[in-house]
Every structure is written in C-alpha cells, then in structure tokens.
Chain A
Amino acid sequence: MRPARSRARAFLAVAVAALASGGCDPPPRAARDAAASPAWAVSDAALELSAHARAMASVETAPVRRRALAREIRAVGKVQYNEAGLATITSRVEGYVERLFVDFTGVEVKAGDHLVALYSPDLVVAQQELLIALSDPRAASTIASTRLKLLRWGLTEAQVQELVERRRAHERLTLFSPIRGTVTEKLVVQNSMVKPGDVLYRLANLESVWVYLDVYESELAAVRYGQLAEISAEAYPGREFSGRVWFINPVLSEESRTVKVLINIGNEERKLKPGMYVSAVLRSPLLASGEAAPTAAAGHYSCPMHPRVLQSEAGHCPICGMRLTRIPGEAGQPISEDEKLVLAVPATAVLDSGVRKLVYVERSPGEFIPVEIATGPRAGGYFPVLSGLEPGDRVALRGGFLLDSQSQISGLPSLFFHEGQPPGPAHPGH
C-alpha cells in the first residue's frame, strides 16, 4: 500500500466523514524530530561514551604496566682496522732486497711467514764476527754481544742457532712476519735498497675490526661501555654482525656534532672490510628513572669475536679460544630485575602536540579523562612514563585522537586547549 494513496484516502476519509482528526498519518515533518539517544555525554569533566560510539571511534584500552624497555639508538659508522692489531715491518739493517716473498698488497700472512730476503753486507760482516768469535773460546763476551746484535738486527733465534750450528754465514737475511695479519701496504720492490728504519710492509690483523659509530650528542647519554651493538653492512643485506661498545670518544666533533663510539667486532670471515660504511643499532635497556641502564659489562672480559662471552676474569674464549680482552671502565653494581622494569605506555596512546603529551584514561567503563604525562624518549613502541600515570591505569590505545576531538568540542580540557572552554550544554547525537 503506497503511502501516497493511503494519505489520499485518509484525506478523503477526513473530508467526507468530517472527522476532525482521526487517524491521519502524521506529516513526515513531525518525524524529523525523532531524537537520537545520546551517543556521548559529558559528566564531571569526563567524556562518557556509549558502546556504539566507542566501537565507531575504535577506542581500545589497555592497562599500562611495567615492562622491560630498551631504547634503540641508530647510528652509522665506518669499519676501521683494529688498532691493536696493526704492525709494521721495518728493516733494521742496510741492505738490498734480494727476494720478495710477499710481493703484493693484501696477502694474508701468518706469524713466522717469510716476507723478504735481504742482502746486507753489514749483516754478513756481523755473522762473520760471530763465527770468528765462536772459534775463539776466549771470546764468550764477544759471542754474546754479537749474537745480541744479530737478534736486534732482525735475525730470529732460530736463524742465529742455525748459524751457530752450521758455522756458515747466510748471504741473505730473511725477514719473518711477527704477527698474523694482512699486508695492507707494501713499500719495497725487488732489488731496491733499504736503509735501517725503512718501512717494508704494514700489516693489519683483520680478525677483529673496529667500527666507529657517529652518535649524536642527544643520544650519547644512552650509550654505555660494553653495550651490545648490531651492525649491518650494505654489502651483506640481512646479515647482522654483533659487537660491543669498546670505547666512547672523549671528544665531540664540533663539525658534525657527533661523538665517535668504537665497537669491537670479530671478523673471522673477513667480511667486514675497513672503509665500509655500516649502520648500527644500539639497544640500551632503560631504568625506571628513564635513564639508560648500566650494562654491568665494564671492567669485564669479553671475546671480540663472540661478544656474548662476558667474564669477570681474564682468560680465553670458551668458543674460539681467543684471548679475552678487557672492556674498559669500572665494574658497576649489578642491577636488580625489578629496576629493569619501567612503567611504559604504548606509543599509539600518546597524543603529542609537540609541547604537551596527553593520554586518555578510562576512569570507569566508558568514561574517559585526559591525563597529561611526562615521558622519556621513545623506546621501541613505548614511552617510559615519568609522571602522570600509575600502573594499572587503562589508557586508550586507539581512537585517542577522536576522544580528544570530542573533548575539545565539548569544552573539556584537550590537547591543544589546556583548560578547555567553559562547558556549554552538549548537543549530543545531533
């Protein structure tokens, strides 16, 4: 039955039967006033939401609690030689390079590997001196001094021993590598002449490398000795290297406003090459006070290749047997587990105007009040709460923006309007 007809019929009925006002359909206009039940209201400076309004605004709440937080610091840096593993091969005598064993840069050498053979007239003379002295039973002191001279000039104990036993002077002197490492520089060429003090090779031990990270002033507070760092290099996507903070440069670079932080990283596979750019993430656990927790690693011993190894005594790495190195700094007091838990509010709950930070707390079901909070710097998905919230307070994780808008509209205090406006009667639901 169409309303058009029904209206017409009703009209006729009224006209014909002269019924003043029987059952005439109410004009549609009247229905427009059908008031919607309020979707929200204001009571006692709090915003009350109906279940529907709450669902529409996707308001989701969760209690704030203490949790372990770690602040992440991202930094970039450059791979450098481990300064402790650098070596230079220097000639101590004058001579001529007869034979180059290590004849290009980049050769890996082990400790004791021959590097170069020199013809040195001085050395031959000295050897002869020793041999002469040997044949002279009275010259024990000469033997000792000549022997010492030969050793100082670069002959090894074995070479001297051989000389003594064989009684024959070596025409050439072979120089051996004192350390394990990589030839990073070769300064001699075949048949060149060397003088005492000339550098022949430079070696570097790449078994562990150092990464210098540039850390901004503002983040420095969170960097501690012994902190673990995860390093990724562009060359090896997806691969992470780990190391420990070994050193924090005492001087800040004026130009870039950064401080160099040194990370010691094992590099057995020689993947990290000095000069490479890497980026690093430092994870710094936070204390309840919002400060970075001491790592408790300072003063302890660790393996550069396996930074997870942390011992209070010097010794060898249980994994690779490498000698452990001491992390600089004084050993601090260990911190309790309790202290490591920080009152944290999810970052999605915090409305930040740049000046103030606000969260909406559900005082009782469906009733929200804005609470101004003070937080530390963001740590992952959370902010450490310094003040304003108590553990167990339910905060709105989502929909905070809409709650704040409604507060503002209703004249309640809100993010941008501290005191709110004098509350007028709300016109709920419109």
Chain B
Amino acid sequence: MLDAVIRWCLKNTFLVVLATAVLIGAGYYALVRTPVDAIPDIGEKQVIVFADWMGRSPQDVDDQVTYPLTTSLTGTPGVKTIRSMSGFGFSMVFVIFRDEVDYYWARSRVLERMNVAQERLPEGVVPVLGPDATALGQVYWYTVEAEGFDLAELRSIQDWFVRYQLNAVEGVSEVASVGGYVKQYQIDVHPDRLRAHRVSLFDVFEAVRKSNIDVGAKVLEKNGIEFFIRGVGFVESVEDLEKIVIRQEQGTPIQVQHVATVALGPDFRRGALDKSGVEAVGGVVLMRYGENPLRVLERVKAKIRQLEPGLPKKTLADGRVSAVRIVPFYDRTDIVLETLDTLKQALLEEALMASAVIAIFLLHLRSTLVVVATLPLSLCLAFVLMYAFGVDSNIMSLAGLAIAIGDVGDMGIIMTENIYRRIAAARGEGSRFEQVFEGATEVGKAIVTAVSNTLVSFIPVFFLSDQEGKLFRPLAFTKTFAIASSVVLALTLVPLVCYHLFRPLKWSGRLTWSAAAAAGLAAMLATRAALGWTVDLGPYSGWPISLLAGVILALAFVRMTRERFLPLEENRVSRAVVALYAPALRWVLRHKKTFTAAPVLVLSAGLCVWLGVGIGEHRLLRGIGREFMPPLDEGSFLYMPSLLPQAGLGPAIEVNAKQDMAIASLPEVESVVGKLGRADTALDPAPIGMLETIVILKPESAWRELPVERWFSGWPRGLAAPLGWLWPERRRITKGEILAELQQKTAIPGVLSTWLQPIQTRLVMLQTGFRAMMGVKIYGSDLGQIERIGLRIEQLLSHVPGATDIVADRIVGKPYLEFEIDRDRIARYGVNIRDVQDVIEIAVGGLNLAETVEGRERYPIRVRYLREFREDVPELEKILLPTSSGAQVPLTQVVSIRSVLGAQEIKGERGLLVGYVTLNTRGRDEVSVVEDAERVLQAALQSGDLVLPPGYYWEWSGQFENQVRATQRMQILVPVCLLLMFVMLYLGFERWWIAPVIYFNILVCAAGGFLLLALWGANLSVAVWVGFLVLFGVIDDDGVVMATYLEGSFDRARFASVAEIHAAVLEAGLKRIRPALMTISTTLFGLMPIFWSQGRGSDVMQPMAIPSLGGMLVNVLIGIFVVPCAFCAVEEWKWKRAQRGPSAGSAA
C-alpha cells in the first residue's frame, strides 16, 4: 500500500504541489487562528455561590447562610468537592465539578439547588451565582488615574462608566472595582439631638426611606396630545436629604438636618489599592471560563482605546488639562506573547540548527534543501492538525513541536539519503523514476516502523488524567502530529521533490549564472519585502541583509547546479566520521569486556544520582527531587503578605504603602500595585489583612549587572579579556537574587509573607483553596482546636529543610465585641430583641437604606450614629434605645458588651471545618519536602508533641498531588509501554537477544539523562518524564536501525575467523554510523536552542529537553558501540561454539 501511495505521488506532480500549496495556506491560517495562551487552562471547573449579608460576623454568616447553602448543594451531580468560606459580611461556597462536566450545565445544576436553599436562609439574604470565571481569569488589572481627581471621583468613573463598558466586551465575565472610595450620602445622626427632639432612630430611618421615590401616573390627554405624567421625587443632593421631614410639631417641621449631619462621604470599604505607595482606584477584568485570554484582551484593549477620549477631563489650577487614563498594571498578554516568542524563536533556531547539521553531513545542497523543506512543512501540517483537533497553541503544545523537531528531520533524512544513495549508486544509468521509487519504497516501511515505535513510547502521556493530563496531553498531541506529519511528507512529498531536484543538470555557465543572478535578485527583493512587512527596522534600511541573502542564495543556486551525485562514502564528512569511528569501534570490539564497564558505570551512576545514595538520614547523594511542573517564569511576582486577623484597614494600608515603596525602590521593578482586602467580586474573598501585590519586573536586559570573580580576574587586562569572553566577568542579576533582595526590603515584623507568581498562585488556589504551593488541611469540628493544631504544625514544619513561608491560619484571632442582650431588662422597658438589634445594626453599623438615582449613577444613602458616638465601648454603651414609653435609654441598660476572640473567616470542606497551614519550598523539590514534613508530623504524633483529638485529621494538598498521581500512573504506564516496545522489538528481529541489548542501551542512555538532570539541578517532574519518553523513542529507533543492518549483513555471511566477524561488524557499523550520527546530531543540536534561550517559558521547556540531551550525549559516546559490541560478542561466542562442536553450530 505504501508503495502505491509513493508511486501515485511521484506520478501526480501537479496534485501534490497543489496539495502542498494548500497545506501552506492552511498552515498559515491555522497558525493565525489557533487560540493562544501561556499554559493550558488546567484550572478546575468551579462554580461560586455568593451571598452577601452586610456587616454580619463570620460566625453568624456561617451558621445562618453558609451551612444551609452547603448542605443544600451537597449531592449536586458531578461535584468533586465543595469548599465554603464565611467571611465578614459574605458567604462563599465553591462547588468544584469534575472535569468532564460541562461548565454551564454545572452552573444550572447549582442554580437549581440554590432555589431550594433560598428558603432556609435568613430574610434578605439572596445567594447569587458568582461570575462564570475562575480566579485564573484575572487577566487584566488596571488603574484609573488622573491628576486633580480625587479617589471618590475616580471610583465613580470606574464604577459607572469604565466598568460596564468593559464588561460588555465579548468574553469578559465581570469587571470588578477595587480601591478608592464609593460615594455615599451619609446621614450621621446625633443622639443628643434625637433626644432633644424626641425623635427615635427609627423615625429617621422611616422618614428617609419614604423620601426617595419617583412615580408614574399614566397619561393625560389634552386635545389629542398625550402627556406622560411623572411624580419626581428622587433624592439628588445633600440638601434634599436634609429637608426630609421626620415629624411636625405645631407647624414646626423637625427635619433630618435638625437631628443629623448629612454629608457626602466614603462608603464602608473592605479593600483598597495602592500604586507605588499612593492610594489608587482600579479594576480587574475577569475573563469568562474557557475563553482565550489573548483574544479577550485584544477586544478589551480596543474598547479601552475607544473609551479613552471620552473619559472626563478637568482643567487644573495651573491651566493644564488633566484627563482620566486607564493604565494597566497587569496584562496577561505580555506573558503569553513573550512565552510564545521564546518558543517560536527556539523553534526557528532549532530548525536552523537541524538544517545546518544536515547540510554538514550531506555536503549536498540539493538534498539538504529537500530535508530542510520538510521541517516547516511538517510544522505547517502539525498546526493544521492542531487547529482541526482543537489543540491550543501554548507553551506545552509548542514544546511538543520543539522536542519533536529532531525526529521530524530524521524522516526526511532517511528518505532523502536513501534516494540519494540509489541515484549515486546508479551513476546516472537507468530510469531515475525507478531509482527514486525504489529508494523510497525501500525505507518507507522502516520509517513507518520507526515512527510507530516512537509513537508507542508516547502512549503514557495520552493516558495522564486530571491536571497533568490537561497540561501534557497537548504536548503529546503536537509531538505526535509533528512526527506523523513528517512521515506523511517523507512518503509523499520528499520522493517527488527528490525526483525533480535530483536530475543531473547540464546547464551552460552563462545560463547557470544568469539564473542564479535572477534567483539571487528575487531572493533579495523578497527578503527586503518580508523584512519591511514584518519587522520594524528602525533606522536600518534592511538592504545589506537582503543583499547578503540574495548573494548567498545565488551562490547556493550555482553550487546546486554543479553538484554531482558522489557515493556517500566519498563525502568528506563521512570520511571524517569513519576515521573517528572505525578505530574506536575496532578498539571496542577487541576489548569488549573492558568496554562493558563504561555503560555499566554510566548506568549505575545514573541510578545513584536518581535514587540517591546513603544509609538512612546520612545521604551522600540526595537523589533527584520531584515536583509537578517547573514553574513558568512569569516575569512578575505576586507578593502576598498577610497581617494577623485583628488588623484593621489602617495598618493594612500603611503596610501596603510601605512595602510598595520598598519594592518600587528596586531598579528592576517596572511597576508595583498592591491590593488589600477584596475587590468587589465573588472571586475575591480576601479579608482586610490579606494583601496581594503584583510586582512587574522590567525586561531582563534592563537588569543590573553584577561583577563576578573569575579565576583569571587578577590577570592583566590583555590576558583576561579573551578569557572574559568565554567566562564573562559580569553577569546579570538573577531573578532569585532580586527575590532575595525584595524579601529583605519588604520584611516588616508582624507580616507573614508569601512570594509566588500570579498565574501560579491562581492555579494553586483553584486546586487547593490556598495561596501557596502546598499545605496541610486540618479538618475538624472546632475552630479553636483546628487553630491549635495548625499553629503546632507550623512550628513543627519550620524544622523541615526547604520549607519556607510556613503560615498557619490564625482562625480564631479576630476580636469581636459582643452585645449580649439581657432579656429580663428589655422586658422591663417593653422592647424586643429585634428592636435592640436594629438599634445596634443601624446606630453602630449604619445601614444603606436606599439608593439615589442620579442619571446612570447610583449611590447609597446611609443612616448611622455620628462617628464620635460609636467609636469606643463607652460611647457604644450610651447609644439610645427607644422604649415603649417613648423615653430613650442608653443601651448599657439592656445589654452587656463583651470582648471575645472569634473567627475572621470560617472555612469548610466536606461538611467539616477546615484550617490551613500553607508553605512554599525554596531550594528543594516539593515532593521530598512533603514527605519529610509528613514524617516529622507522624513522629510528633507518635511522641505526643502533636496532639490530635478524635474527629480531627490532616491531609496534604498542593500541586505535588498532581505529581504523585502522575507518577503513580506513569509507574504503570511506562513499564507497559516499555513492554510493548520490547515486544515490537522482539518481533522485529530474528535474534531474541537483540531486543534486550537495545533495551540495555536505552537504559544506559536514560542514565545519561539522569546524570545531566542532576548536573543541571533540575527536579524530576512530569515534564522530565515526558522528556525521557522522547529519549526512549529516539534511542529505540537508533538501535533498531543499527541492529537491522547488522542482522542483514550477518544473515548473508559465513565467517572463517573472529577477525572476519569483527570486520563484518565494523563494516556494517560504518555503513550505519552516518545516518545514526545524523539523527543523533539533529536531535542533539536541534535541542540546543532550548538551552540557550533565556526568555519566558524556557524554564518549562528545558526540563523536557534535558533527558534527551543527556541521553544523546551518552549515546554518542557509548551507546553507538553497545549494539555492535553486543552483536559481535554473541556472534563470536556462537562461532566459537560452532567451531568447538560443529554439530551444535547448526542449531544456533
């Protein structure tokens, strides 16, 4: 069948060329249209139910709202877990669904349940569904800024103009405001005047409530003309409120202004924003779940450009005009684009490296052209497939392409080389068509076999589940796509191009040169046009480069026309390779036992490095660490200091401003904006003491350079300078050092801090509910106990090496003032509990009882006691309570005010209360830290250091869970896949022992991978395992190619002596060493760009490439001798046995 395909393609040039053109077009279309993101969306499907209950303490909220809500939601189909949180004045229930559940289906299920739950909630509490977004959807943060505008004005602009406009953008789920002051009409009641005028608080309350209404009264018809009738009565100003009448006494009205002060003021707030130490107003754009951030942000930015001219302006005192601006301080686009840039650049560099390697090995431009052409075309096809299969373009999927590039080149190489060999061998005789066809069919099957091996090696990745599945499946897909594409191209296009390109040319010199000149000119113009079109050249004309390109192309053209088809063996590079390989192999064949030491040594070294060496706690080598995924460098920090729960807004704002100023003082910091408390969205449940500071760093090129002491530093300049080129004497400050400096600068006593990155944090938060890489969840039924256990665990964990930022929840740490009502006493005054509570609620807390309607804007009207009459406990005691007799008595007559410690927020999960102890790791891998920590805790539990009452338990949670789960899965899948490969190998060879030998080689190379991993200091993550799988495939291929050839040459031969056997092995080895080296080199050098790229995303890619690199190095040095050596040894042994007992010889 393969033959038929190849033949058909060779015959239908036009159709194939057309298909290729279509492919290029489709590839471009796919490349442009494929949704782009930094990392795959691995967030959990989360639906938030949010219920507001203004001013209530967490305890009340938990008892009366959260608990009924949670219990009603339990049992919703498809739910994975339910987490709840009761904060100050609000309740949040996070319903996390399983991945396979449709998001909007899940939302409607929750809605159904909420209807039932509604009946069990207190009056006035209406649970609403949170935005259809997750915290990961916080893609764009901005501030609304202008000189000369105060925070309340800016907040109004944000709330009533910017917010709704941006919210209307397609793909935006919500825009939440944060910071500044919400304007509010404040009626501050003066208790003495209430008493003087014999007015109670409720009278004021009622009066105000009745004074803010518009009505319609149908229509009036006058001579056929219809008039609408409208009663106008909305409060529009402070004066309107002042004039509200409470009562009249003999014609004298008692108005609000007589008993209260009315003013415009700031509403009570639970959040603030700080930009470099100055308070600011801002907003956050929440992207809808499942949307593509890049596209949404494009639209958002377009909208902002549209809005900007219409934003308010003000003429300042000095005559300047100040206009309101929207200034972003976090933009997900940046990291997405930077990451993709890095990847694209790496891909391009890889392709160039691979091409260079091919060119050097073949030393034949036309073949190189064929092979090189397959690279972009394969990628094109891969992109088309990605688009068709809905695989997004992100760091993982592109990394899949990046690590596949070596393999992609290989297919073309094998095919081209074989055809070339055929043509060269024919020396211009016979039908070229037949030569090409035969050359192609000869290796067609081998290619397919090799590829199926490679693909089989990748099966485990497809079987990963959960987050790791979401993360790595795109990679597996793209890698498979790329390799499959390359095979398809190798079988269809490559023979055709070879057929047309490999024709002997007998052009005259003039014709050649003029054609070359034309091609060169065309190339020059094309380059210039392409440059002018795509890149902003600045002051450079771009012509020199274009000219260079033209000249190179022209020369290459000339060279191509002059190329002859020499047998490969006469190629200079081949000869060099042979000159190196032949003596080495000869030596190896002669000293087989000595040589065996090398792979064994490597293997054992690799094992030691991997698993560690040592007895018990005394370890020589620690072993390679394990983590879920190397963190993606996002170019920014999310600094999350938290104050103890008893902190008020004042210290929080001060700490925030101080730290922001300290952070901004670092030259590497581009911008710093700190948010404290909540943004007005259901996705942000942060209490007031929880700060989140986004620190954006400048691009690396703007960082400071530090001097480095080198061994030659003391030398004279002349000597040191060239060495300085190899080992630079200055280096750029690293991110780690910046972090250390920031940590030092921001250290404030009493503030617990956590440094992470924005996306990383949101991901972890989604998965675990806490803001750190990992943590312990303590479940139980009493908050006090949970806190005690948590604090104890915090102390115990501080001994664990590598664990930092250990923070236990201070659950019971918020002081409460409890007004305890004496029922006997209120009975004496004839008032009910409710009356007293209302007084407490309104007088102390204030109540927003209506909203003004001012055009588009709405502001709350609030009634409350004057500040000085409710600021301290003695004042609170004097709050007046109207009694049934009309007299007003101080509150202290009927209540006793107690100060107690209570919860700042109450978290629940699985129907139990829960407290967290969170930690991060630094300088050590996650899994080991968790294992060590768990050991410490168990030991403490045994020794009685940690007391765990019955009904309490703890559980670890964090991203490492994914690693553990992935490893478990890999532990099953990798052996299964290895077995599968083994079986395929076994079936592929007549000699049963070839498969184990190749296997041995694979293991040796894997050991090399481990060694490099240890040298690089990388941890063992799922990404690294994926890298190993890639390596297995490649090594397997190499072994197969080598062994097939050896087997082929031995099947035909009969040997007279050991030397003959050696010679045969040598000959076969030499024949195969060139393609083997070529594939190894393309893989090896193809991966190089990943290592020297330092841009965003390289940290994620490198671990995947390390095993391949290490394995390939070992393969070049040792691996390529293993199969010939083993083959030779076995054949020798068989030959010797045959010599000793001729009768037994035939049995072999």
Contact = CB atoms under 8 A, between A and B. Distances in A.
Interface of A: 1-11, 13, 22-23, 25, 27-37, 39-40, 47, 49, 52-53, 56-58, 76, 78, 216, 218, 255-257, 277, 279, 353-355, 377-378, 401-409, 411, 415-416, 421-422, 424-427, 429-430
B541 to A, nearest CB: 25
Given A7-B1092, A32-B923, A76-B192, A401 B731 contact: no
A404 B750 CA distance: 7
A23 B710 contact: yes
Interface string B73-108: 000000000000000000000000000000000000
B842 interface: no
Interface stretch (B291-299, B887-895, B1063-1071): B887-895
Given A3-B1094, A255-B887, A425-B798, A405 B644 contact: yes
Nearest to A31: B736
Contact of A429 (B710, B744, B874): B744
A337 to B, nearest CB: 30
Nearest to A428: B747
A416 B903 CA distance: 13
28 contacts: A2-B1094, A3-B731, A3-B1094, A8-B1092, A13-B727, A22-B727, A23-B710, A29-B1017, A32-B739, A32-B740, A32-B922, A47-B749, A52-B745, A56-B659, A56-B662, A56-B747, A56-B748, A76-B195, A256-B887, A256-B888, A257-B893, A353-B815, A354-B817, A377-B874, A405-B750, A406-B750, A416-B813, A416-B901
A231 to B, nearest CB: 13
A218 B872 CA distance: 14
Contact of B795 (A3, A53, A405, A424): A424
Interface string B104-124: 000000000000000000000
Nearest to B885: A255
B743 A424 contact: no
A294 B487 CA distance: 105
Interface stretch (B238-246, B472-480, B647-655): B647-655
A40 B749 contact: yes
B1093 A4 contact: yes
B749 A57 contact: yes
B1105 interface: no
Contact of B1094 (A1, A7, A33, A76): A7
A8 B1091 contact: yes
A227 to B, nearest CB: 20
Contacts of B877: 218
Interface string B730-771: 111011110110011111111111000000000000000000
A113 to B, nearest CB: 33
B564 interface: no
Given A56-B748, A403-B749, A421-B795, 18 more contacts: A5-B1092, A6-B727, A7-B1092, A10-B727, A23-B727, A52-B745, A56-B746, A57-B749, A58-B654, A255-B887, A354-B815, A354-B873, A377-B874, A401-B646, A401-B750, A402-B750, A408-B750, A409-B644
B725 A9 contact: yes
Contacts of A33: 736, 922-923
Given A34-B740, A416-B901, A257 B892 contact: yes
Contacts of B792: 421
Interface stretch (B384-392, B441-449, B799-807): B799-807
A32 B743 CA distance: 11
Contacts of B1094: 2-4, 7
B889 A255 contact: yes
Contact of B747 (A34, A52, A424): A52
A2 B731 CA distance: 8
Given A416-B646, A416-B815, A39 B725 contact: no
Given A4-B1094, A32-B923, A53 B748 contact: yes
B1041 interface: no
A430 B1017 contact: no
B647 A405 contact: yes
Interface in B700-714: 700-701, 710-711
A355 B897 CA distance: 11
B651 A402 contact: yes
A39 B874 CA distance: 39
Contacts of A13: 726-727
Contacts of B791: 421
B889 A429 contact: no
A6 B728 contact: yes
Nearest to A254: B889
Nearest to B737: A31
A429 B748 CA distance: 9
B1016 interface: yes
B794 interface: yes
Nearest to B808: A409
B524 to A, nearest CB: 29
A76 B888 CA distance: 15
Nearest to B888: A256
Contacts of B970: none
Contact of A1 (B662, B730, B893, B901): B730
Nearest to B732: A3
B1091 A401 contact: no
A10 B726 contact: yes
A353 B748 CA distance: 22
Nearest to B726: A13
A11 B1092 contact: yes
A34 B736 contact: yes
B972 interface: no
Most B CB contacts (10 A, CB to CB) among A378, A405, A424 go to: A405
B649 to A, nearest CB: 12
B899 interface: yes
B643 interface: yes
- 5 smallest beta-carbon distances between A and B, as pairs: A354-B899, A405-B750, A424-B795, A402-B750, A32-B736
Contacts of A78: 196
B658 interface: yes
Nearest to B868: A74
Nearest to B754: A430
A28 B736 contact: yes
A216 to B, nearest CB: 6
B661 to A, nearest CB: 10
B408 to A, nearest CB: 23
Nearest to B794: A424
Contact of B753 (A47, A401, A430): A430
B878 A28 contact: no
A355 B901 CA distance: 10
A295 B900 CA distance: 39
A4 B890 CA distance: 74
A279 B647 contact: no
A426 B735 CA distance: 25
B467 to A, nearest CB: 24
A429 B731 CA distance: 26
Nearest to B791: A421
B593 interface: no
B635 to A, nearest CB: 14
A106 to B, nearest CB: 19
B1017 A256 contact: no
B209 interface: no
Nearest to A425: B798
Contacts of A408: 644, 750, 810, 813
Interface in B880-938: 887-890, 892-893, 898-901, 922-923
A415 B647 CA distance: 12
Interface in B504-538: none
Given A31-B734, A31-B736, A277-B196, A425 B799 contact: yes
A52 B744 CA distance: 9
A430 B805 contact: yes
B193 interface: yes
Contacts of B748: 53, 56-57, 402
A387 to B, nearest CB: 20
A29 B732 CA distance: 14
B749 A49 contact: yes
